[in-house]
Amino acid sequence: MAEAVFRHLTSPSSLTTSTNLNLSTIDSCGTGAYHVSSAPDPRTTSTLIDHGITTYRHAARKIRPEDFRDFDYILVMDRENLADVEALRRRMKVTGEGEAYERARVRLFGDFGGTVGEEVGDPYYGARDGFEVAYEQMVRFSRGLIESIAQGGTS
């Protein structure tokens, strides 16, 4: 959902002409391999459609070491994901792979939503209203990230 919302909000039709984000790649992944190659949960898709995001297509994948090299930011939804991603980076450093993979800044996505440390509750095991709450968070966090990038921040 986060990827779909961010893509939507950074599309040329959504940005003002004065906003130049210089984005090249937007992607999403998980820290576990639970749903690799699966499409988003139908409740995610229906929530996105309810908000006018109708073209999102995605197949789940697990985070890879190359992601630390290929992306400027790796944004996680909660502290458990943050610990998992930081542990992966530490393992890469121990094996000698780390230096080439220092590019990405790892942050909680919620840090961009107005409350530092805000986490996204996983709506998967709940009712559909949890997906609406997650959607609202994704919009708020995405707007905060867009503003931060546009101002040259996000360190």
Q: How confident is the model at residue 22 (pLDDT cuts 50, 70, 90)?
A: confident
By CB atoms closer than 10 A (0-12, 13-18, 19+), residue 125 is exposed
Give the pLDDT confidence score for residue 21 in this predicted structure: 72
- Nearest Cα neighbor of 8 from 59, 76, 56 is 56
Per-residue pLDDT of 73-119, as tens digits, reads 999 999 999 999 999 988 887 666 656 667 889 999 999 998 899 99
Report residue 106 CA to chain centroid gap: 11
> What percent of the chain has a predicted confidence (pLDDT) above 70?
89
Q: How confident is the model at residue 16 (pLDDT cuts 50, 70, 90)?
A: low
pTM of the predicted model as reported, rounded to 2 decimal places = 0.87
Per-residue pLDDT of 58-75, as tens digits, reads 888 999 988 998 898 999
Report residue 55 CA to chain centroid gap: 18
